[in-house]
């Protein structure tokens, strides 16, 4: 099979790495890719949000399957375009992709499906939003309705902080049009889990769970980021909880989308809070998480490609995935200044030595080659150092041993990834 993976981050590197091991694969293409992906796939300089360009590439190269990594191409209709061209695509069409593209739509679907989620209000006027915040009090969560690159959520500990978030999102438009509508909801308390299910429009199978670390600093301090690391499986997420989430969250939501003639094919990412009342939905994403995908792929022992194909063909009902009885961890190395304005162009050395540590896999996220061919930082989250082991302690020690071999003074990472598991 010829496969095109859309995207160029750490998640896409992990997907390419997993797909490249499939005996079904004859050719692997990635667009736009990155220097790490280029070691295992042919990379083409087509932006992930260039729908026409991606479709033209898929046609020109005669690909048998398109695998979409980021959310933006899905909300822009890449899967729709592929369907019209007769090219199988792993990822939902624009309609069901609104589960991530619109917090309001997510809430509507969750409520219609009877899936447990936080109480909320929806607002298009700042004055009404502020009045709701003052009525409910803090802590309270303020969310931009649209896509905001993982930065459109403020967990406010005071009323003043929440009102400031309203001002910045709705009036200052720090997230552009994404903040024109706000969803303001109760602050759920508990342990946060990322759970993934493969879906074929009618059926779903569990893909596993991971736990992300959103805050930039050790001890979960500082501003939220796109994710500073992850580990899998989270000890708090038992088989019984997984069965409950499948029954109460995934299956009814799939049925509700199908009822609305919007069948969901792809990976459904449930952001969960394990509350005293049971698991509740924080959000749905319509793609693999980053960095959770990297942690999951390190543990997967099944051939991932047949599962992706089955999802596009409505054949997941009796599909079985095998997992290694290992723990995995992914530590993100970010550029100085992240999550604000990251410093770009700094040289990165030592990755070859890092990759030699047993159990370690290095994933590129925001890297590039400069005119001299040097590997340099080209984003905020730049590298993902992943490792697997028989225990979390073993995996964690391997990951940080590899990080110690990376020669990049301008990079930093959290030193406590996986602390809940330990």
Give the CA distances from residue 366 to residues 165, 349, 378, in Å, rounded to whole numbers and listed in that order: 28, 14, 5
Write down the pLDDT at residue 147: 84
Write down the pLDDT at residue 295: 97
Confidence of residue 148 (pLDDT cuts 50, 70, 90): confident
Segment 1-11 mean pLDDT: 98
* Annotated domain spans of the chain: 2-93, 125-180, 189-313, 327-412
Whether the predicted pLDDT of 401 surpasses 90: yes
Class of domain 125-180: alpha beta
Beta bridge partners of 377: 367
How far is Cα 66 from Cα 52, in angstroms, rounded to an integer? 14
Is the Cβ–Cβ distance between 223 and 216 less than 8 Å?
yes
How far is Cα 201 from Cα 205, in angstroms, rounded to an integer? 11
Write out the DSSP string of 389-412: ESSHHHHHHHHHHHHTT-B-TTEE
Q: Six-digit token pair at 181?
A: 């509508």
Pairing of strands 204-212, 191-200: antiparallel
Range with the lowest mean pLDDT among 8-17, 143-152, 367-376? 143-152
Pairing of strands 191-200, 265-275: antiparallel
- What is the pLDDT of the chain when averaged over all its residues? 96
Taking alpha carbons only, the member of 218, 241, 24, 17 closest to residue 116 is: 241
pTM: 0.94
Buried b (16+ CB within 10 A) or exposed e, 255-278: ebbeeeebbbbbbbbbbbbbeeee
Segment 318-343 mean pLDDT: 94
| 361-400 confidence digits (pLDDT tens) | 999 999 999 999 999 999 999 999 999 999 999 999 999 9
How far is Cα 43 from Cα 38, in angstroms, rounded to an integer? 6
DSSP 177: G
Phi-psi category of residue 12: left, alpha or beta, with phi > 0 → left and psi -120 to 50 → alpha: alpha
| 50-105 confidence digits (pLDDT tens) | 999 999 999 999 999 999 999 999 999 999 999 999 999 999 999 999 999 899 99
Confidence of residue 183 (pLDDT cuts 50, 70, 90): very high
Q: What percentage of the chain exceeds 90 in pLDDT?
A: 94
| 210-238 confidence digits (pLDDT tens) | 999 999 999 999 988 889 999 999 999 99
Write down the pLDDT at residue 324: 87
**β strands within 319-394, DSSP E:** 327-335, 360-364, 367-369, 375-377, 381-389
Whether the predicted pLDDT of 151 surpasses 90: no
Q: List all residues 6 or more positions away from 164 whose beta carbon is below 8 Å from its beta carbon.
A: none
How far is Cα 107 from Cα 109, in angstroms, rounded to an integer? 6
Write down the pLDDT at residue 419: 86
DSSP 344: P
Taking alpha carbons only, the member of 152, 149, 187 closest to residue 166 is: 152
How far is Cα 226 from Cα 242, in angstroms, rounded to an integer? 24
Write down the pLDDT at residue 406: 98
Own/partner long-range contacts of 414-418 (Cβ < 8 Å, ≥24 apart): 414/213, 414/216, 414/217, 414/218, 414/228, 414/229, 414/331, 414/332, 415/218, 416/218, 416/219, 417/213, 417/228, 417/229, 417/230, 417/231, 417/329, 417/330, 417/331, 418/229, 418/231, 418/329, 418/392
Owner of token pair 């969901």: 264
Pairing of strands 204-212, 27-32: unpaired
Whether the predicted pLDDT of 39 surpasses 80: yes
Taking alpha carbons only, the member of 65, 77, 91, 86 closest to residue 11 is: 91
Helices (H), 187-335: 239-245, 251-259, 292-299, 304-313
Architecture of domain 189-313: 2-Layer Sandwich (3.30)
Q: Six-digit token pair at 364?
A: 């590129």
Write down the pLDDT at residue 152: 86
* CATH number 3.40.50.20 is the correct assignment for the domain at 2-93: yes
Gyration radius from the chain CA atoms: 21
Biggest alpha carbon distance in the chain?
A: 60
Is the Cβ–Cβ distance between 141 and 186 less than 8 Å?
yes
**How many angstroms from the chain centroid is the CA of residue 321?**
20
Whether the predicted pLDDT of 175 surpasses 90: yes
Q: Six-digit token pair at 395?
A: 């995996």
The CATH topology of domain 327-412 is: 3.90.600
């Amino acid at each position: 099979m010829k496969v095109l993976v859309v995207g160029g981050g750490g998640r896409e590197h992990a997907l390419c790495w997993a797909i490249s091991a499939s005996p079904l694969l004859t050719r692997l293409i990635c667009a736009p890719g990155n220097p790490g992906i280029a070691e295992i796939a042919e990379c083409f300089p087509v932006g992930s949000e260039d729908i026409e360009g991606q479709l033209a590439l898929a046609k020109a190269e005669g690909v048998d399957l398109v695998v979409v990594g980021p959310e933006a191409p899905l909300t822009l209709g890449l899967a729709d375009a592929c369907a019209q061209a007769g090219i199988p695509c792993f990822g939902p069409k624009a309609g069901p992709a609104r589960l991530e593209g619109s917090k309001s739509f997510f809430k509507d679907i969750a409520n219609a499906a009877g899936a447990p989620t936080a109480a909320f209000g929806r607002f298009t006027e700042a004055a009404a939003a502020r009045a709701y915040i003052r009525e409910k009090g803090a802590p309270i969560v303020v969310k931009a309705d649209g896509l905001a690159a993982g930065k459109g959520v403020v967990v406010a500990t005071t009323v003043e902080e929440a009102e400031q978030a309203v001002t910045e999102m709705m009036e200052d438009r720090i997230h552009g049009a994404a903040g024109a509508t706000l969803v303001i909801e109760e602050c759920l308390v508990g342990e946060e889990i990322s759970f993934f299910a493969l879906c074929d429009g009618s059926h779903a199978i569990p893909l596993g769970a991971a736990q992300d670390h959103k805050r930039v600093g050790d001890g979960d301090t500082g501003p939220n980021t796109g994710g500073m690391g992850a580990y899998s499986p989270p000890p708090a997420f038992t088989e019984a909880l997984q069965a409950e989430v499948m029954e109460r969250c995934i299956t009814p939501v799939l049925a509700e989308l199908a009822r609305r003639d919007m069948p969901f094919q792809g990976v459904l990412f449930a952001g969960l809070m394990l509350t005293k009342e049971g698991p509740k939905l924080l959000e749905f994403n319509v793609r693999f998480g980053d960095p959770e995908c990297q942690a999951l792929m390190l543990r997967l022992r099944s051939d991932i490609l047949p599962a992706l194909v089955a999802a596009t063909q409505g054949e997941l009902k009796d599909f079985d995935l095998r997992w290694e009885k290992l723990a995995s961890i992914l530590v993100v190395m970010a550029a100085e200044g992240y999550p604000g304005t990251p410093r770009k162009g700094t040289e990165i050395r030592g990755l070859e030595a890092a990759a030699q540590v047993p159990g370690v896999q290095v994933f590129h996220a925001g890297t590039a080659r400069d005119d001299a061919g040097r590997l340099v930082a080209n984003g905020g989250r730049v590298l993902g150092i992943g490792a697997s082991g028989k225990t979390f302690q073993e995996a964690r020690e391997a990951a940080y041993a590899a990080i110690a071999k990376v020669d990049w003074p301008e990079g930093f990472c959290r030193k406590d990834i996986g602390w809940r598991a330990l």
